[in-house]
Amino acid sequence: MKRVRWILVAALVIVAAIWVSFFQVDVTEFAVVTQFGRPVSVHTDPGLKARLPLVQQVRRFDARLQVLEPAQAEFLTSDKKNVVVNWFVVWKIEDPLRYFRALPSVAAAKSQLTDVIASELGSALAATEFNHLISTEGENRKLGEMVQGIQDHVQEIAQREYGIAVQEFDVRRLSFPDQNRRSVFERMRAERERIARRYRSEGEEEARKIRAQADREESRILAEAEEQAKMVRGQGEAEATRIYGEAIAKDPEFYEFVRTLEAYRTFLDDKTTLVLPSDSELMRLLTDGLEAKRRGGSRP
């Protein structure tokens, strides 16, 4: 009976030793196995892993994305204006071994990231004029370039020193202390007035172009119309000349009679008094008509 008891105890010890010799790594974590405080293996893939019981310990680290959003901080611009910045950073552990050696806890990691970003942000703002931060023309290119530069620098430092990958950094809010608000409003008003002047100038320039184009088009149309009118007049005069020629050929005396009447109509009106001798050609035409002229007759 005593022997069976010892066998059961030995079996339980063996099972317990086997149990503590293995551990599970979840898909959301990394694991670092240490022996007497020194790392001996790193596990980044999920699954069942082995270790030496009692001698080796397992440190687990979150492999998921984490968001750090500290309290707002105040900085100075290059022209000595105060700005209040709210920012956030999305980060994750990329190198578990380096992270383990550099940082004792998640709180320490957040503290180090905050210090690095605050330093980079302060340096960037110290090299940027206040006016460049409050542009009203759509997306602020200067601020965007500054944020991207900070992210690049922080990523380099965090990866090299702490094994951390910075996925995203951005400024959530940029505000101003009370003493700066008046200058901000004045700057924004001046900026909007400048934009309005630019739009008016562009509109006037476009109107001048449209008017010039319309004038050129009008001149072209008038020139074409005048040219067409000249052609029509020329054709009409040619046709009239042809008709006159045919009329002269058919009845020269009648043509002469019509031309004579047209000539008299030109210089005679209802206020003209004309005294003619009885044997004048005009008197004969007016009284006897064309037939008398053809016969060569005269009034008695």
3-state secondary structure of 43: strand
Low-confidence ranges of the chain (pLDDT < 50): 138-139, 297-300
Q: What is the 3-state secondary structure (H, E, C) of 197-252?
A: HHHHHHHHHHHHHHHHHHHHHHHHHHHHHHHHHHHHHHHHHHHHHHHHHHHHHHCH
Characterise 193 by phi-psi region: left (phi > 0), alpha (psi -120 to 50), beta (else). alpha
Number of neighbouring beta carbons within 10 Å of residue 167: 15
Q: Specify the pLDDT at position 243.
A: 80
| Helix 178-250 vs helix 252-267: crossing angle, to nearest 10 | 130
Q: Specify the pLDDT at position 13.
A: 59
Domains and CATH numbers, the chain: 2-62 (no CATH), 66-176 (3.30.479.30), 256-300 (no CATH)
Q: 176 φ, ψ to 5°? A: -135, 140
Q: Specify the pLDDT at position 299.
A: 42
- pTM as predicted: 0.56
